[in-house]
Amino acid sequence: LFLSLKLEKKTKGKLQKQICQVVLDHFEKQYTAELGDAWSSVRDALTSPRCWQHALLLNRFSAGRGLEGGLAERGWRPALTAALPCLPAAFRCYLSAAPRRFPSQKHRPGRLKEYYLLNAASLLPVLALEVKDGEDVLDLCAAPGGKSVAILQCACPGHFHCNEYDDLRSRWLEQTMESFIPDALMNLITVSKLDGRQIGDLRPEFYDKVLVDAPCSNDRSWLFSGDPQQAVLRLTRRKELSSLQLQLLRSAIKALRPGGTLVYSTCTLSKAENSDVINLILSSCRNMMPVDLSEMARGVSQEFTFLGGMQQHELLVLPQKGRAWGPMYVAKLKKISST
Residue 239 marked in a binding site: no
Q: Residue range 101-113: average pLDDT?
A: 86
Q: How far apart are the C-alpha atoms of 49 and 119, rounded to whole Å?
A: 13
Answer whether residue 64 is part of any domain.
no
State the pTM of this model.
Answer: 0.93
Active site residues: 267
Answer whether residue 179 is part of any domain.
yes
Answer whether residue 172 is part of any domain.
yes
Residue 83 has pLDDT above 70, yes or no: no
Residue 195 marked in a binding site: yes
Residue 110 marked in a binding site: no
CATH number of the domain bearing residue 292: 3.40.50.150
Answer whether residue 81 is part of any domain.
no
What's at 54, amino acid-wise? H
Measured in whole angstroms, the distance separating CA 95 from the mean position of its chain's CA atoms is 16
- Quick: pLDDT tens for 15-49: 445 899 999 999 999 999 999 999 999 999 999 99
Residue ranges making up the domain that contains 188: 21-51+121-335
Answer whether residue 271 is part of any domain.
yes
Residue 174 marked in a binding site: no
Residue 37 marked in a binding site: no
Residue 295 marked in a binding site: no
Residue 1 has pLDDT above 80, yes or no: no
Residue 302 has pLDDT above 60, yes or no: yes
Exposure of 160 in the CB half-sphere (CA atoms within 13 A): 25
